[in-house]
Chains A and B, each alone.
Chain A
Amino acid sequence: MRIALFITCLNDTLFPRTGKAVVRLLERLGHKVVFPEDQTCCGQMHYNTGYRRDAQRLAVRFVETFADADAVLVPSGSCAAMVRDNYPRLGAPGSRLDRAAAEVAPRVLDLTELLVDVLGVTDVGAYFPHTVTYHPTCHGLRLLGLGDRPYRLLRAVRGLELVELAGARECCGFGGTFAVKNPDVSAAMGADKARRVADTGAEVLCAVDNSCLMHIGGTLERARAGVRVVHLAEILASTEEEPARI
């Protein structure tokens, strides 16, 4: 299957290793990944901060760039949710953006949806000999409704021991510009999340969204907690021959 990758601006700039892992994983499973180079950003930060018009411009670019794709993989839960949940209410009713958004939204998928629902795999042949805990991220949980897909994928990874995260459904406190507009609350939430992650005894925390991981990971590192954060794609791409670097 031909899969169009929307890498997201954050992954593109700060976490290219997640994108590389996605490409490696999908190619290993026998699929072709294309990367339309006109892509930039979904506009989530602008939209969530109240800059609707900036977000509209970025949304127009997105829907034009991915108009022909059969499946658009977005390895970021919040960006996937931005397109699926918010694009349909971003344009004026009946506008070109409105129509294009309604058309593209159903083809936008998170990695776990692509694997489990479209490609029909839960065992992707990965090997990752570490203790791992999973943070379900608010957008993945409530807007995308990823449910047990990530857990099913993780349980099928050889060598991996999955440990439960207490209070998993609670927000980590990142929230985009929330982290700088309300730094004290954001940090308090992050500290509580980091403590619960550390309490699991896991070596690795994973999620489907590098923005949350950047926040939790930054907090864990500042606390010298010794827990590494890794995007789920990197675990699923990891094999005996080419293990993920953690």
Chain B
Amino acid sequence: MSATFVGMPAFPEAARAATGDAQLRHNLRRATHTIRDKRAAVVGELDDWAGLRAAGKAVKDRTLRHLDVYLERFEAAVTAAGGQVHWAADAAEANRVVTDLVLATGERDVVKVKSMATQEIELNQALAEAGITAYETDLAELIVQLSDDLPSHILVPAIHRNRAEIREIFRDRMAAWGAPAPDGLGDDPRALAEAARVHLRERFLRTRVAVSGANFAVADTGTLVVLESEGNGRMCLTLPDTLISVVGIEKLVPTWSDLEVFLQLLPRSSTGERMNPYTSTWTGVTPGDGPQEVHVVLLDNGRTDVLADTVGRQALRCIRCSACLNICPVYERTGGHAYGSVYPGPIGAILTPQLRGTGGAVEAALPFASSLCGACYEVCPVAIDIPEVLVHLREEVAGGAGHRAERAAMGAAGWVLGDRRRLDAAQRAASAARSLAPRHLPGPGAAWTDTRDLPEIPEESFRSWWRRRSGPGEGAR
């Protein structure tokens, strides 16, 4: 995959194009509403959801507050079980580690299980530079890879594509990557899934190296956990000789029994199912069963910066379920690409600027890509207060060089609002000039009047009326 988010415009500009794309809007609306309703139904089945959510939050907080302890414990457990643990401080190091491990096997093809961490570090590009081809095997990732596109959703990276578009991609591109699409392929999802099965079948049976991520890593036991639906995960985790898993350091949970919380929270929040079709767990190497060479690459890549921010830290509780994307009215209208990162939607708006810093235009715009409606916080299974972190990051951005004019305007507004006499004077001035109020405002005000009428300015403010009504002194303190 050569597509990259680098060089994309900042959110407001990217969003302008997206909101004007009727096909995209239709695809997103349909998909997000479908999954929203499914989630609501299965979450509604559990009368203890609030308790599960509180437990999930607390388990993650416990882990994060003592992450060093759990990382060392996890490393020891994996090693004892015959696996090898590698540490990668940043994307470049992680890519180098994985590339070297693949090259050492002598293989030049790898199959991949859908993984956000490897998307984040752009592993496929790094492998390609070393002459290694990475084959995505998740259906949505396959669609994205074949069309040289970018993922636009955490769970369903091709959510922006409809069935007709997917059929075109399969017909045009499958042959270049392996088994071609069958003749006369229709756009029925069943037929498209069957085409993907046939396309990948032989690849699974033949490829000797797999790369995965993990949904959870159990510190006590050294166990990795992958939840999936299609069985491509099982194929990759079972058939090859070598398995390399790239795992963000925040994926840890302390104990095996802690999974009882997350295996209830994640499927219901994510795919809207009581349980996803397949969950695989493995601990190091099992002689005679599955890969006999097992590697785990623990990835920092900015996570410790997030950890250092006591308000922003909660973003590391994220279990990548996508519920916040699916419920978000902004995401529904822009899609994921506008967020300029593999992490779109509300969680992306707080994670990307923290992982990469707020220095760039894309990152600096993300904390403002929200109306702060709070729907994301409401559905988050680990209670990440996304609006709180957004506002916290806005403060960081607003203090920066790009916001001098706004800071001055806010300061002026604060000055007027900071004293009742000044406010009163401003209100009188506005009322006096009310007949002059234009229908269309110039400059930044045009952002309002382009699509909405302005309210009429009243003859007098409330406080003028109150004073008139009460007589001097009355009611004032």
Contact = CB atoms under 8 A, between A and B. Distances in A.
A34 B12 CA distance: 43
Given A48-B391, A54-B410, A169-B375, A183 B451 contact: yes
Contacts, number: 199
B455 A217 contact: yes
A182 B375 contact: no
A58 B420 contact: no
A36 B414 contact: no
B333 A180 contact: no
A37 B381 CA distance: 44
Interface residues on B, range: 35 or more
B19 A51 contact: no
A212 B463 CA distance: 22
Contact of B11 (A19, A38, A182, A221): A182
Contact of A16 (B372, B460, B470): B460
Interface string A105-121: 00000000000000000
B465 interface: yes
B411 interface: yes
B453 interface: yes
Given A17-B458, A142-B375, A187-B450, A40 B417 contact: yes
A39 interface: yes
A35 B329 contact: no
Interface stretch (A123-131, A171-179, A236-244): A171-179
A187 B373 contact: no
Nearest to B466: A35
23 contacts: A12-B461, A13-B423, A13-B427, A15-B458, A49-B394, A50-B391, A50-B397, A50-B399, A139-B374, A142-B373, A170-B375, A171-B371, A173-B371, A175-B371, A175-B372, A183-B447, A183-B448, A184-B15, A185-B369, A186-B371, A189-B330, A218-B448, A222-B451
A54 B398 CA distance: 12
Contacts of A176: 371-372
B451 A58 contact: no
Nearest to A65: B477
Interface string A1-36: 000000101011111110110010000000000111
A44 to B, nearest CB: 10
A227 B456 CA distance: 16
Contact of A46 (B334, B414, B463, B470): B414
Contacts of B370: 175, 178
B374 A142 contact: yes
Given A50-B391, A51-B414, A142 B368 contact: no
Interface residues of A, number: 68
B371 A37 contact: no
A41 B417 contact: yes
Interface of B: 11-12, 15-16, 19-20, 25, 329-330, 333-334, 367-375, 377-378, 388, 391, 393-399, 403, 406-407, 410-411, 413-414, 417-420, 423, 426-427, 430, 444-445, 447-448, 450-455, 457-458, 460-463, 465-467, 470, 475-477
A38 B450 contact: no
Contact of B375 (A36, A47, A171, A180): A171
Contacts of B418: 40, 57-58, 61
A183 B450 contact: yes
A138 interface: yes
Q: Which 7 A-B pairs have the closest CB atoms?
A: A175-B371, A218-B452, A50-B394, A50-B398, A171-B373, A183-B447, A54-B414
A188 B450 CA distance: 12
Contacts of B367: 50
Contact of A185 (B333, B420, B454, B460): B333
Contacts of A36: 475-477
B460 A173 contact: no
A245 interface: no
Contacts of A187: 19, 450-452
B368 A181 contact: yes
Contacts of A219: 451-452
A45 B409 CA distance: 12
B141 to A, nearest CB: 27
A9 B463 CA distance: 10
Given A23-B466, A222-B453, 16 more contacts: A7-B462, A12-B423, A40-B418, A43-B417, A50-B394, A50-B399, A54-B411, A170-B375, A174-B371, A175-B372, A182-B330, A183-B451, A190-B451, A218-B448, A218-B454, A219-B451
A191 B29 CA distance: 14
A160 interface: no
Contact of B414 (A14, A34, A57, A169): A57
Given A184-B12, A184-B16, A189-B371, A40 B420 contact: yes
Contacts of B391: 47-48, 50
Contacts of A37: 420, 463, 466-467, 475-477
B371 A138 contact: yes
Contacts of B397: 50
A184 B452 contact: no
